[in-house]
Amino acid sequence: MTTDIQEWERQLQRELAEIRSSSKRLADEVAVVRGRGEVPGVLVEVDADGDITDLRIAPGAMRWPGHQLTTALLNCHRKARADAKASAERLLSKADPRIHDQFQRLHSEQTPEDQRPSEDEIQAADDAYFERMNQRGWNG
């Protein structure tokens, strides 16, 4: 009986080591994920969390009307976020099933599908925010 428990503990330790290794590998891969959104004159790059890591605005784009530049920046950011999300999801789909399944379970518990804002809702909120800022004289 003791040897069965000891063997079970050894097996458990091996599996935990595999999961830790797979988890670290996935974290390292996700850490270098970048998404890009670009239109002529504007480039936005984001990491897997959607945070901007690079923003480039050509000198000519700086002369665009404010609403045009704002729209270009927002569209590029949305494209970049979608690109990064797709890359991260591809990595996750190839991950150790034990990690993938737990991530899916955790994610679905945190943000039920029916509570997530749609792209149209996000667009409307962004538009409303920048409209308020522009009305206050923001030069963004």
Q: Say if residues 78 and 127 touch (Cβ distance below 8 Å).
A: no
Rounded to whole angstroms, the Cα distance separating 78 from 56 reads 15
Q: Would you tell me how many other CB atoms lie within 10 Å of the CB of residue 111? A: 10
Residue 86: per-residue pLDDT: 94
Describe the chain by its helix, strand, coil percentages, rounded to 5.
70, 10, 20
pLDDT at 113 over 60: no
pLDDT in tens, 115-140: 677 788 888 887 777 777 777 776 65
Q: Say if residues 53 and 77 touch (Cβ distance below 8 Å).
A: no
Residue 55: per-residue pLDDT: 97
pLDDT in tens, 8-62: 999 999 999 998 998 899 899 999 999 999 999 999 999 999 999 999 999 999 9
Q: What's the gap between Cα 102 and its chain centre?
A: 18
* Mean pLDDT in residue range 88-103: 85
**What number of CA atoms fall less than 13 Å from residue 37's CA on the CB side?**
23
Which are the contacts of 62, defined by CB distance < 8 A and separation ≥ 6? 69
* Mean pLDDT in residue range 104-112: 67
Which are the contacts of 59, defined by CB distance < 8 A and separation ≥ 6? none
